[in-house]
Chain A
Amino acid sequence: NAGVMQNPRHLVRRRGQEARLRCSPMKGHSHVYWYRQLPEEGLKFMVYLQKENIIDESGMPKERFSAEFPKEGPSILRIQQVVRGDSAAYFCASSPPWGPQHFGDGTRLSIL
């Protein structure tokens, strides 16, 4: 009974590089959510996706950030041209329709 799987657990990038964070939802879950937790701050919603559709991206920064949840494969959160302020823990959650969200252990992104 695998939970939400995120990889990598830790990711180091230099300023200007691209970061790709992956999330495999729990079996049977068709909804995926991404959250960000900046150092010493609370979790903030970024984006909510269902298979091949973005449902709510109201928390996503307007530039450099994108997310997808293809028909096959994991959900991907992509950050282009990373800056120091992108350093954070990024958490993915999944849920069935009308069920509670279950979170992964996150990806810690560090920008040099």
Chain B
Amino acid sequence: DAKTTQPPSMDCAEGRAANLPCNHSTISGNEYVYWYRQIHSQGPQYIIHGLKNNETNEMASLIITEDRKSSTLILPHATLRDTAVYYCIGDQAGTALIFGKGTTLSVSS
């Protein structure tokens, strides 16, 4: 499993884009980059994942550098409900997810 490094906390103003970085320099060629978030003590919510190409869905965009050593999760218009702990995980599909400490994103009005 790839070791990932994320800043412990970030702040974002409501309505602005939130850009959450993640370093995963040891990621191997067959490992995906997954992003999850956990709001308060609810179950983790799947956001997006990618292998090499940039990905976009209704929740967020994922930008992966060409060398795959880092990625950025983009929430285009953050709302108060996006306040959560965000986890970046490098792993193969079909295996256990290893959660680190993540980034606590605080969105304020």
Name A residues whose Cβ lies closer than 8 Å to a Cβ of B: 4, 31, 33, 35, 37, 42-45, 48, 56, 58-59, 89, 91, 93, 95, 97-106
Of chain A, the residue at the smallest CB distance from B48 is: A100
A45: B residues at CB distance < 8 A: 96-98
Min distance, Cβ B104 to any Cβ of chain A, angstroms = 12
Interface of B is mostly: loop
Least Cβ distance of A50 to chain B in Å? 9
Q: Is the CB of B41 within 8 A of A101?
A: no
Q: Is the CB of A43 within 8 A of B41?
A: no
How distant is the Cα of A72 from the Cα of B44 in the complex, in angstroms?
Answer: 26
Distance, CA A110 to CA B59, complexed state (A): 34
B-to-A contact residues, CB < 8 Å: 34, 36, 38, 41-46, 49, 93-102
Asked, given contacts A42-B101, A100-B34, whether A105 binds B42 with beta carbons under 8 Å apart, the answer is: yes
With both chains docked as a complex, state the minimum distance between the C-beta of B47 and any C-beta of chain A, in angstroms: 9
- Note all chain A residues with C-beta closer than 8 A to B42: 105-106
- Report B-chain residues with C-beta under 8 Å of the C-beta of A103: 36, 43-46
Residues of A within 8 A of B97 (CB): 33, 35, 43, 45, 93, 101
Question: Which A residues are in CB contact (< 8 Å) with B98?
Answer: 45
Known: A91-B43, A100-B49, A106-B43. A48 touches B95 (CB 8 A): yes
